[in-house]
Amino acid sequence: MQRTLGKTDAQIQQEVLQELKWDSRVEETDVGVEVDQGVVTLTGAVTSYAKRLAAQEAAHRVSGVLDVANDIQVKIPGTLERTDTEIAQAIRRALEWDVLVAADRIQTTIEKGIVTLEGSVDFWYQREAAERAVHNLSGVRQVTNKLVVSTPPIGPEAVKEAIEQTLERRAVRTAKHIQVAVHDGVATVSGAVHSWQEKQAVLAAARFTQGVQSIEDQLRIEPEA
């Protein structure tokens, strides 16, 4: 019987189901949960892309979960259906109202509710902010983010040092065991962390660092015994 963090897969499955039930954003009765050696697979159907992502986040919050495969389908009921034109108009308003996003540098394409973001931003966090601005809009089935981070040239060693200093400054428990490599604007972060929350804290150090054009996440979750 597989155990992760002292838990069996069956225990992890029950706790993920409980977390889904607790999270009011999720329709837990529509989500199936399978666990194999700490890897969670989510199946079923929900009524919005936002709920799909909320289910994924809920699963990640459970201790003992190593990875999450999100196979949930988005099936929008007729009352929430929107034309691609209506979705495009809503996206433009959302981007223009978001203070973290340079809306005039972002173009969108919508086809049957599938949104593609293209253009450029100055920081990686702005790339993520633009995607988040679209997540909760009615009628959106999926988001493909092709935004490019365009920043002034900064030496890779300076970027690497900035990320490492951020990790130390924030006293991330696993900072000493994290390796950071930067090449052509790509920050590769590797090593072991104890939880999904620690993983997000480490990635945040790279997310807001100037000069980071993309992040290669090679972190692995190794729960404490």
The domain that contains 60 carries what CATH number? Answer: 3.30.1340
Number of domains in the chain: 3
* 62 DSSP 8-state letter: S
Rg (Cα) of the chain, in Å, rounded?
A: 19
Kindly report the number of other CB atoms within 10 A of residue 81's CB atom: 11
Distance of alpha carbon 68 from alpha carbon 152, whole angstroms: 35
Quick: pLDDT tens for 113-156: 999 999 999 999 999 999 999 999 999 999 999 999 987 778 99
Residues 121 and 165 in one domain: no
Instruction: Please give the pLDDT value at position 133.
Output: 93
Of 95, 127, 149, the domain-final residue = 149
Two tokens, residue 101: 């996003």
**CATH code: domain of residue 92:** 3.30.300.130
Residues 12 and 50 in one domain: yes
Residues 113 and 60 in one domain: no
Of 74, 92, 108, the domain-final residue = 74
Instruction: Please give the pLDDT value at position 30.
Output: 84
Instruction: Please give the pLDDT value at position 69.
Output: 96
Domain that holds residue 182: 156-221
Predicted TM-score (pTM) of the model is 0.77
Instruction: Please give the pLDDT value at position 158.
Output: 94
**CATH code: domain of residue 161:** 3.30.1340.30
What mean pLDDT is reported for the chain?
90
Highest mean pLDDT among 28-32, 73-77, 166-170, 219-223: 73-77
Of 109, 128, 149, the domain-final residue = 149
Q: Which residues contact 197 (CB under 8 A, 6 or more apart)?
A: 61
Residues 67 and 102 in one domain: no
Look up residue 111 and give its amino acid: E
Cα 84 to Cα 60, 72, 104, 137, distances in angstroms: 32, 22, 20, 12
List the one residue out of 160, 223, 166, 169 whose CA is nearest residue 196: 223
Instruction: Please give the pLDDT value at position 5.
Output: 57
